[in-house]
Amino acid sequence: MDDGYPAIEDHGLIGDLQTAALVTCDGTIDWFCAPRFDSPSIFASLLDRERGGFFRICPDETTYVTKQLYLPGTPILITRFISADGVAEVQDFMPVTGEKATEVHRLVRIVTMVRGSMRFRLECRPRFDYARERPRLERHRNGYVFRGSSASLTFNPVQPVRRLIAEEDMHLEDGDLIGFGTLNEGDTGGVVLETNSDMEPRAVPLEEVQGMFEWTRDYWRRWVERSRYTGRWREMVERSAITLKLMTYAPTGAMIAAPTAALPELVGGTRNWDYRYTWVRDTSFSVHALLGLGFTEEVGRYMDWLDERIREAGDHQAPLKIMYRVDGSSDLHEEILDHLEGYRGSRPVRIGNGAADQLQLDIHGEALFAMHVADEQGIRVSHQVWKSTVRLVDWLCHNWDQPDAGIWESRHHPRDYTFGRVMSWVALDRAIRLAGRTGRPGDIGCWTTQRNLIYDQVMARGYHRGRGSFVQAYGENVLDAALLSMPAVGFVTPSDPMWCRTLDAIERELVSDSLVHRYDPVHSPDGLPGHEGTFNMCTFWYAEALARSGRLDDARLTFEKMFTFSNHLGLYAEEIASTGEQIGNYPQAFSHLALINTALALNELLDVEAEARRRR
């Protein structure tokens, strides 16, 4: 479809651990928010090709093809332009900013002519505040400043032997910056964009930019070297780990669900949500993934963030909120941006998230599961946090048996979701284990009684005798892919006949050529129009469930087939459309942490099988 919008998967992600940007295969930055992931956008042509704003560097007046890759072991993105006239590279990266929140962020774009010569076009068209403000452009002696009421963007040209665009070839076009220039073999040029800088624009020496590049490269490679993963699929696991790290806000340790907002689950549809926030569920799942790779420091930072949320909830005798901003605040008022047309006409464009105030009981299970796993690795909570945890678990003891919105955040009426009950069981079970292992106080008798009541209720009401499987909600006969995680959390054994029949039913009704739907929206109304694609995390869960059930060949095939649905950089959005294209917010933390967890589990089970064969 040539409608001016790139495919969602035709992007690479760069970032500095406080915010991030998307870069298309043709050298366009079409999504960038600053100073934080959840800040208003500076470039957003991904959501409106005409109004959103972008920054493009690409060949001009020549036919070319592009190839894109990451510098190994880093998120430094290399876009190669190949034509009959020559070969050029654009290297895009953001120097890491550190753990202190800052307004100043840098986008570095280095252009190198590898072979031949090529004429380039540069267009810098920022639109602040989700394109609600058009900045004024100021010309300075050594560069330019786009200035708005609440933000600024400084354009600093790199000053090598040969400029990318000579000053006399730069001109203004309706308040935007346009330039043309020709590079010959061996020439290097570039631009450093800075947000909210107090400094005058300056010509940045090439040696300084090369220093930024080398420092960024070495930072990421040192980080990757801390991984202890040596199993199969190392390249995909490593890329997923880097992607999760890119989506972590360094000042607090909180991980966002995705760096984008309003990318549709159905092109042209209305399921367009803002995922630039921290879900307790998503990030708790990441604890197992990151610990499995050996990244204990990241887990410790996140657990500090989670501990604060548990203290807030426990001290107020209230449930956890399902999501927060990266700084821990919980004001996520949902707003529709009517002036943006949406990705390929997918309206409405939403910022904020109205699901933030839903009751979703399962998140307590994910939070306590994370706390338990972290404690096993020596990451223990303080006395005060444990006191708040006790109050939170006590609250759950009295409130687990009520309808909620469920893991999929239904905007329909609350229901008695089986998964919510299962994860409430997990919360109480892990709290009991934590208290027993650490000798800390808690109402263990009450917790045990309620845990057992939940178990009995799920077995009696969550299992549909007529269809012979666990179902999405009590009194209904609809399946739910979230139930694929039941063996992984220890609620059922993989060999239990009730579970085996459930897995068979999910395969028949929710699996399409190894890809897994969350549920059937036709028979399980969620209060929203339209349909969606298969859900990547559920497909990874399916592969792990197959492995735990002893079907290792099927599990490995399903897992490795999923690699063919990643993009050229190994990145995944939230879902896969029936056409095979990626849809939903991108890249998606759920998808990448599930890939890691499945790789860890499957690799271990394959090793066990190989050892058993060897002994035979």
pLDDT, tens only, 87-110: 999 999 999 998 999 999 999 999
pLDDT of res. 484: 97
**In angstroms, rounded to a whole number, what is the distance separating the alpha carbons of residues 366 and 175?**
49
How high is the pLDDT of residue 532?
83
pLDDT in tens, 147-172: 999 899 999 999 875 667 776 678 88
**Would you say 352 and 333 are in contact if contact means Cβ atoms under 8 Å apart?**
yes
Phi, psi of 557 (to 5 degrees): -65, -45
Give the Cβ contact number of residue 437 at 10 Å.
12
Q: How far apart are CA 106 and CA 73, in angstroms?
A: 21
All structural domains of the chain? 11-206 (2.70.98), 233-610 (1.50.10.10)
Q: What are phi and psi of 397, to 5 degrees?
A: -55, -30
In terms of DSSP H, where are the helices of 458-588?
497-509, 536-548, 552-563
Residue 202 amino acid letter: R
Distance from C-alpha of 415 to C-alpha of 386, rounded to nearest angstrom:
31
Torsions phi, psi for 609 (to 5 deg)? -65, -45
Three-state secondary structure along 93-111? Answer: ECCCCCCCCCCCCEEEEEE
**pLDDT at residue 318, rounded to an integer:** 86
Q: What is the pLDDT of residues 349-386, one digit of tens each?
A: 999 999 999 999 999 999 999 999 999 999 999 999 99
Q: What is the pTM of this model?
A: 0.96
| 3-class DSSP assignment, residue 28 | strand
Measured CA angle at 475 (ends 472, 481), to 5 deg? 10
- Eight-state DSSP code of residue 484: G
- pLDDT on residue 568: 98
70-106 as b/e: b if 16+ CB within 10 A = bbebbbbbbbbbbeebbbbbbbbbbbbbeeeeeeebb
Per-residue confidence (pLDDT) for residue 102, from 0 to 100 = 97
Task: Classify burial at 570, counting beta carbons within 10 Å of its beta carbon; exposed 0-12, middle 13-18, buried 19 or more.
Answer: buried
Q: What gap in Å lies between CA 166 and CA 163, rounded to an integer?
A: 6
What's the one-letter identity of residue 572?
Answer: Y
In 434-514, beta strands by DSSP E: 463-464, 469-470, 511-512
Q: How much is the pLDDT for 61? A: 84
Q: Which residue has the tokens 């939230």?
A: 574
**In the chain, which residues have pLDDT < 70?**
1-2, 161-163, 167-168, 521-530
Strand partners, 152: 147
What is the per-residue DSSP string for 150-208? S-EEEEEEEESSS-SS-GGGEEEETTEEEEEEEEETT-EEEEEEEES--SPP--EEHHH
CA distances (Å), origin 467, targets 280, 287, 500, 566: 33, 35, 13, 35
pLDDT in tens, 113-154: 999 999 999 999 999 999 999 999 999 999 999 999 989 999
Ranges of beta strands (E only) in 311-455 are: 323-324, 335-336, 350-351
Q: In 3D, which of 529, 56, 50, 603 has the Cα closest to residue 289?
A: 603
Alpha carbons within 13 A on the beta-carbon side of 227:
23
Beta bridge pairs of residue 28? 56
pLDDT reported for residue 163: 66
Q: Residue 88: enclosing H or E segment and its boundaries?
A: strand 86-93
* pLDDT score of 521: 61
The predicted pLDDT at position 164 comes to 73
| Class of residue 582 by CB neighbours under 10 A (exposed 0-12, middle 13-18, buried 19+) | buried
Enumerate residues 6+ apart whose C-beta is below 8 A from 508.
none
Structure tokens, 26: 């043709």
CB 215 within 8 A of CB 133: no
